[in-house]
Structure 1
Amino acid sequence: TGFVFDAKTFQKIKEFALPAAEGWGLTHDTASLIMSVGTNQLYFLHPETLATTNMITVHDNNGPITSRLNELEYINGYVYANEWLTNYIAKIDPSTGKLVGRLDMSRLIAEAAQRNPNGNEMNGIAYDSASNIILVTGKNWPVFYKIRLK
């Protein structure tokens, strides 16, 4: 079940059925909400009715990827998705589902582990369009990292 809250009062406005048992990440483009559910699929939801309007399976040249897509951001026409329990952030063409690139976070993950050996996987990304920076963090990480896109 998903929930809609009033942005000012935080009062729950409505509930809606998700297209899967869990929602893992949510972003939006100019026409749709885009949701990950912990699989290699992305669901597109109508922003008013919240009905599923499309679903794509993320794939590369060899077929469907096996990653479990988590947190999402929509950046310059692409969906960026944290690939759960990997060192990667996927760059996905939302019109085709094609994996067009990956950001390798191995160095940041290693540095975060040195700062806090009890830290867990990378699982948070956010985008600041004013500075063109992606913010990356993880479970129990003591810091977040800024990555400037070129």
Structure 2
Amino acid sequence: MKVTVAVCLLAVAGAALARPQYGHGPPIAYRPAPSYNEVPRYAFDYGVQDNYGNNYGHQESRDGYDTKGSYYVQLPDGRLQRVNYYVNGDSGFVAEVTYEGEARYPAYSPAPAYRPAPAYSPAPAYSPAPHYG
């Protein structure tokens, strides 16, 4: 009897060890926690220009509370819109918008006159539904 109990206990312990473990360990620290006393500093820029008419971009730099940047976009009328902006402390977002080029619109050519062909069909015949009751 003791041998049977010991064998059963070993079987249960072996099954528990063979079972996959799904627990998660502590989070991995990839970098130290940010200090809120650090002054934010960054700079970025990008631009897109392709054969489909896309022409836009943006650049910005920040050093503490002083932020400067600009962006531009090709408008559908052919002009290039540029926006230069800055934010300094509590000044808010201050922007200057300029346009380069002249607005161009394609010459108006009236579309061909649309003349729908008349389509007549006989009026539907009325047949009342039976009434029971």
TM-score bracket for the superposition, by shorter chain length:
under 0.3
Task: Say which one has the larger Rg.
Answer: 2
Higher RCO by CA contacts (8 Å cutoff, separation 6 or greater): 1
Which structure has greater helix proportion? 2
**Please, what TM-score do these two structures have when normalized by structure 2?**
0.24
Which structure has greater strand proportion? 1
**Please, what TM-score do these two structures have when normalized by structure 1?**
0.22
